[in-house]
Structure 1
Amino acid sequence: MLQVLIVDDEPSHVQGLVRHIPWAKLGYLIPLTAESGEEAIPILEAGPVDVLITDVSMPGMNGIELAAEAKLIHPDIQILVISGYNEFEFAQEAIEVGAKGYVLKPLKLSEIERKLTAFRQTLESITQINEQTIKLKEIVSDSQEMLKDTFIFDILEEEPMEEESLNSWCQMLNLPNQPSEGIQLITAIIDNYSDSSGSDAQSKLMLGSALLQSVSVGLKDLGNVLVSKTRPDQVVAILINPSIDKRSNIDKQMRFVQDYMSNSYGVSVSVGISRWGYEWREMNQIFREVKFTIADVRQSGNGSITYVGNTERKAFEDYRMQENMLPDLLMLAESDDPLPLVDKVGQTFKELENSGHNMAYIQSLSISLLGELSRKVWQDTEEINFLNKRAWHRLLDCKTIDMMKDIVIDYIRSASMLVRKERSLQQHHLISRIVSSMEEQLPISMTVKQLAEQFHISAGHLSVLFKKETGLTISDFVKNLRMKKAKEMLQVPTIKIYEVAEKVGFQTPAYFTYQFKKNEGCTPQEYRDRFYV
């Protein structure tokens, strides 16, 4: 319902309008009233007024002046001005100050009602436009936040962003292509997140949102800041070109975040603050340095604020070298031939020495390599464990990098030899089991795929192993097996030839005779006759 204010210095005029207009039917509350412009101003200021009906000619502040003031207080207010014939010269002024209607005395109630109906429709349209505008602003705001989240996710990816794509993002988010004063990345992680809120999904969601909001509020005064929740328990903030005095407040503001999360939710938050970068392309590297540093520090306790300095960067580089190197070496170890792995290990030791890594680091890396090879590639057999422990003790006593290299290579060669023997033995037992199964299942002949499924091995690998072990393909082996069984049965005169054909898996005696002669050089009957001569 809309609110009207009627202002006239003649009370009878006011009461006439109040009594005789069907306000509720037209969508209005019972009007407010005033007898002067000066009396009307406080009413306008006290609360929302949608429509002002005012007489032009009043003592003191006239209707034109009141209309102008009302527009300042309520810009969307609809104004209806009432005047006599001798006051018609005020009409132009009323329009100029924003009046939307002008009626002459004596008043016609029907005309007033038409004006009020038109005002209501106008106000409803204005309300609708305002609501849509607010929604649009919210959508744009949400879209901007989504864009920022997407940008942060992309910029932190391990693969560097293409130059054209980066420029497009910077333009869309109004970011500098080249941050001259630098970029700093802050990562905040909720400690023990999985235990902090039990299994309540809503509580976990609230906890992550609280961290996001606290970081956003805590850093909002530090200049241009992008903030995003990159994981349910992790928030990342990127400070862009902050001034020197604002940089000094980072530590203070992140302690505010920690205190807030502790006091409000009973959780601790670990914070990592990166070194300074000067290109967007550095962000993925910087982010990984921060994550590694936080993870390392959290091993000895939670709730710290840690800065990534030269020492932390060096530790991360060592970790990354190990992280990148070990998978390549483990892949080479899958081969039966140890030479590629031996060559790669020799090359790696040379690179480590040339990079200036100390003995302790190379020693640790060597022991890690031996452990990974033993567990993930060579299955921790008793013999492998013995070689591993012996090499591990020898590495601890090493005095030079060359000695360590020789010990690792010697371990690889010895372990590879044991593994090859073990694999060969396992393959021999596997093929023996398969052959026994094939003999037991005659006259049924299983396909390579069926045999592979039965013995949990790929069809291709089975074919290769079978040929390597027996010298025959599976189909040739089955054919020979049938012929061998057939010859054994043909030596028993009471078994008819068609029965032999059926028992060794041939569908017809004629096809059996054809295959037998092709394989043995004589028919089944000729073979039997020759056997009993």
Structure 2
Amino acid sequence: MIRIMIVDDMPIFLEYLRGCIDWNSYGFEICCEAHDGREALEKIEQFYPDVVLTDITMPYVNGLELAEKVTRDYPEISVILITGNNEFEYARKAVKLGVCDYIVKPFEKEELILSLLKLQDNIGKAVESTEIKNEEHYDDLRALIYAGVPDVESENKFEEKVFGGSRQGSGYLLALLRFDVSTYAAMDTESREQLMNWEKLIAKMLSDKLEIQGEFKIFHDFENNIVVLMRFDHASELDSYKGYEFTDIIQIVKNQLGIGSAIALSKADRLIDVKKAYEKALVYLGGKAFGQLYDIRNNNDEVAYSSLDAIIRLNKDLETLQSEDAENAINILWERLTGAKAISDTEIRISDMNLLTSAISILMTNIISKGFSIEKIYGDGFSPEKYMADAKSTQEMKDRVVFLYKKRIDFERGKKESKTHDIATAAREYIEANYADSELAIADISEKLCVNQTYLRKMFKSEMDMTLTEYITQYRMQKAKALLTSTDEKLSSIAESVGYKDVSYFSNVFKKYYGVSPRSMSREM
């Protein structure tokens, strides 16, 4: 858990901060509270939080003075200021002095969550330390948008299974949220992995934020787009729904993360119409600018082509390692795009790019989800976007997609599958061999084991019942204790030998771990 100290002289605001967020579900815990900067400085030694979340205007020691002391004396602790509009310039100046971020009152709780998750490796720690719950009927919902339900009987069974009863509502609204992947210029494994982690957390934020007269289900499609299926109790509520929650999310994600997004709202009278509503939203967003909510409930335009069954097939081929069938599925997609009309070799249409971009997106999402590295499969510096852009004809574009799928499938076929135990053991051995390195990072372990960080964190926690970060700290503390109780080495030397450059920081970590200072333990023993 990421430990947070909250500091404010107003009890009512402390109470609000405690209760406005389900902290544990995002990987946070409130470890302590303080009513002014002076009390906060006293409690830092006792609790040693990861983040100090503080108001500016307080008696004795104000938030700016507190921030200055924390950033100077405790460089490993992050500081976020909570400020009013009249204190805005003070907050901006404080950022230059080392404060990590500031939030202006009044603020949405989602702004605060994202601000906290941006700090250092908090997004990775949050995904590592708390399970982002998958929708219970994830596979059923994916099958609904890709394959649909064939008849009324199937429709009733789906209602019973997913919504717990026959249809009581008056229609469905499907929201499709896509992110601008070009925001991440490099889009290497680490960048894509981070974006997928953000998408997990943003889906959770939506589930906490969304309020409708009815029920809703949130899940991801094969491209990791967020899909929200809303079932309204009354037709009038569906018709009057404006989607303000989605508009807020678009703006908050842009302001806090710099990531563009777009959302389409598409209507389905019955479950049997949801597949068409999804496809309409998918095609519509393919040619639209990011940063907006598009309401296409009353858009009766027919979708130009249907490719969802081929998309399902491509995803299944990746799971079952069927490279020949993947090539056939890509050929089907291509034939549907081009039809009987001959296309010039030099003509590269937007529609071609949109569909092939979806195929690439599915491929990259699958690679990251499986724990593989894009660079390990295709080579260092590889960019699928650039690789596709370099194609000189539409036929070459298609051939390149086929090549990418085959190479991904061949990579896994030729790779001995690493079980959870093997990955966790290898990670533990690497930590034990390199714990003295103060620059040791989870990224180093990930690179050494040829798995991405999210997958590594998940496998390690599953096997060891603790996070990687916790294990690194535990091993270092055990080594430090052994040196303290069996040698006469200086404290600074011991700290350095177990991976800490700053002896003060080492002492605080040691005290938090064992409950006594390292000097006290040395004397007692």
The TM-score with structure 2 as length reference comes to 0.31
Q: Which has the larger radius of gyration?
A: 1
**TM-score relative to the length of structure 1:** 0.31
Q: Which has the higher helix share?
A: 1
1 or 2 for the larger relative contact order (CA 8 Å, sep ≥6)?
Answer: 2
